[in-house]
């Protein structure tokens, strides 16, 4: 009996360990730095859980090696940082697993300067996500990633400068301005030329609350200078070169921040699309008045051109085949027989003269053919017979006269 209990205990230990490992959240796409009171988002994935079950997710930061958590989690309508005590777990983000016991999505949060657990000191902190059951059973924590928190320096109290002159006033110290940020993430490393994708955008401009901006995606060859791309606005795809106010419009919130997704794809019909290769992708931002673009960070994306992989290479010009003239047309005329008293050879000679004055004229070509017909050897042979006959008649005539005279 003890042996069975031992085997059962060992089995429960290993299976329980595997289940706990599988059910632990996984986080990614964490920004390298954030400013206090500005919202940021991270990607979170869960698996190996009970299917169609409600869980609570909490985003937490802490100094490395401690459990002094701070940070607020957005639950869909407001932020909750776990205070005051005791913690109300229902105020964290509620999620429901699918039929396979999995869930993936974005968890939004921020570090509030009013958080009593935050020291107010800028530095590098550990970031993780805790998963609770619906009733608030102890958290199962995700992997830990580091993030830099930029907190405003406290404004020193102005003190009067010691001086014997009562007219001098203390020198005020300028309050540091919160910095702006414009970052993109979650872009794929490789796509096809006809494929669109959604890129995550985080914009923070503390001095521009409730302000309209226009966003557009841009691609260019790694060694190029000209941009191309299509940005989806509603049901339309807007070209890179279209008016800025036709692009995707966003509005910052009361703290000057905006986060969301932008759907883009390469414009394979653009003359600046050079076929398959590595392209630099980034997002441009315009103000409501058209000033810009201000660019985000850059991400390298490989584009595979499915329609014409060799597009962009100039075709090799084909040599034009020259048509050689027919040798029968430009054939040199045969030697003519001895001229006779008949006018026909003179006509052929005149036609030959006209042919030489216009070698490209088709009529000249016909004259050459006529000239060749006049040089028919039968005509020459007929002339010879005529001459021979005339000579024979003359010989007989003179011979008879000679006899009579003798």
Higher pLDDT: 14 or 123? It is 123
Between residues 79 and 367, the one the model is more confident about: 79
Burial 274-312 (b: 16+ CB within 10 A, else e): bbbeebbbbbbbbeeeeeebeebeebebebebeeeeeee
- Among the residue ranges 31-45, 92-106, 148-162, 248-262, the one predicted with the least confidence is 148-162
Average pLDDT over residues 8-27: 58
The confidence score (pLDDT) of residue 30 equals: 94
pLDDT value for 293: 93
Q: What is the DSSP string of 177-226?
A: PPPPEEEEE---SEEETT--EEEEEEEE-TT-TT-EEEEEEEEEETT---
| Pairing of β 277-287 and β 190-192 | unpaired
Give the separation between CA 148 and CA 128, rounded to whole angstroms: 13
pLDDT for residue 295: 95
Least confident stretch, 206-210, 254-258, 280-284, 348-352: 348-352
Predicted pLDDT at 166: 57
Residue 88's pLDDT is 87
> If you average pLDDT over residues 30-58, what whole number do you get?
94
Residue-wise pLDDT tens digits, 118-142: 888 999 999 999 999 988 777 899 9
Whether the per-residue pLDDT at 344 is higher than 50: the answer is no
**Which residue(s) pair with 28 in the sheet?**
43
Residue 21 banded pLDDT, cuts 50, 70, 90: very low
**Separation between Cα atoms, residue 188 and residue 185, nearest integer Å:** 9
pLDDT tens-place string over residues 137-179: 778 999 999 999 999 876 665 555 666 665 556 666 655 566 8
From residue 309, alpha-carbon distances to 81, 100, 192, 313 in Å are: 53, 40, 11, 10
pLDDT at residue 77 tops 90? yes
Percent of the chain residues past pLDDT 70, beyond the cut: 69
pLDDT digits (tens, 9 = 90+) for 347-381: 334 334 343 444 444 444 443 444 444 556 778 78
Residue 371 phi, psi dihedral angles, 5° rounding: -60, -40
Cα(131)–Cα(290) distance, rounded to whole angstroms?
44
Query: Is the pLDDT score of 98 beyond 90?
Result: yes
- For 59-68, 228-237, 326-335, which range has the lowest pLDDT when averaged over its residues? 326-335
Residue 103 reports pLDDT greater than 50 = yes
Residue with tokens 């955008």: 201
Residue 214 neighbours by CB under 8 Å, 6+ apart: 244, 245, 247, 248, 249, 250, 285, 286, 287, 288, 292
- The pair of structure tokens assigned to 138 is 């102890």
- Which pLDDT score, from 0 to 100, does residue 337 have? 52
Average confidence score pLDDT of the chain: 79
Residue 81 or 158, more confident: 81
Q: What is the pLDDT of residue 188?
A: 96
* Structural contact between residues 206 and 196, judged by C-beta atoms closer than 8 angstroms: no
Helix axes 344-357, 362-374, angle to 10 degrees: 150
Report pTM: 0.37
Cα 237 to chain centroid distance, Å, stands at 14
Main-chain phi, psi angles of 217, to 5 degrees: -85, 150
């Amino acid at each position: 009996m003890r042996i069975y209990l031992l085997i059962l205990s060992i089995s429960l230990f290993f299976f329980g360990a595997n289940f706990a490992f599988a059910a632990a959240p996984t986080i990614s796409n964490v920004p390298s730095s954030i400013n206090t009171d500005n919202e940021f988002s991270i990607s979170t994935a869960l698996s190996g859980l009970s299917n169609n079950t409600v869980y609570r997710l909490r985003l937490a930061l802490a100094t490395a090696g401690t459990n002094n958590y701070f940070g607020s989690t957005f639950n869909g309508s407001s932020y909750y940082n776990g205070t005051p005590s005791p913690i109300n777990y229902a105020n964290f983000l509620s999620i429901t697993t699918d039929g396979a016991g999995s869930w993936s999505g974005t968890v939004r949060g921020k570090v509030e300067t009013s958080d009593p657990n935050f020291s107010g000191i800028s530095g590098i902190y550990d970031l993780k996500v805790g998963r609770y059951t619906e009733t608030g059973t102890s958290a199962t924590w995700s992997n830990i990633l580091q993030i830099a928190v930029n907190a405003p320096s406290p404004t020193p109290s102005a003190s009067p400068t010691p001086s014997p002159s009562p007219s001098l006033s203390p020198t005020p110290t300028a309050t540091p301005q919160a910095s702006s940020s414009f970052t993109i993430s979650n872009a794929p490393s490789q796509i096809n030329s006809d494929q669109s994708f959604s890129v995550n955008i985080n914009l923070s401009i503390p001095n521009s609350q409730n302000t309209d901006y226009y966003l557009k995606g841009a691609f260019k060859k790694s060694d190029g200078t000209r941009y191309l791309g299509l940005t989806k606005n509603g049901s339309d795809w807007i070209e890179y070169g279209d008016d800025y106010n036709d692009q995707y419009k966003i509005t910052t919130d009361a703290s000057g921040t905006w986060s969301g997704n932008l759907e883009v794809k390469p414009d394979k019909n653009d003359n600046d699309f050079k076929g398959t290769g590595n392209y630099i992708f980034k997002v441009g931002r315009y103000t409501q008045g058209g000033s810009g673009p201000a660019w985000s960070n850059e991400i390298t994306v490989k584009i595979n051109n499915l329609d014409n992989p060799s597009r962009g290479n100039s075709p090799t010009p084909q040599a034009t085949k020259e048509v050689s003239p027919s040798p029968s047309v430009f054939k040199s005329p045969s030697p003519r027989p001895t001229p006779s008293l008949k006018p026909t050879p003179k006509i052929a000679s005149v036609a030959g003269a006209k042919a030489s004055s216009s070698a490209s004229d088709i009529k000249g070509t016909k004259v050459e053919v006529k000239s060749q017909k006049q040089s028919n050897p039968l005509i020459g042979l007929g002339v010879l017979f005529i001459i021979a006959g005339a000579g024979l008649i003359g010989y007989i005539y003179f011979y008879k006269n000679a006899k009579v005279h003798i």
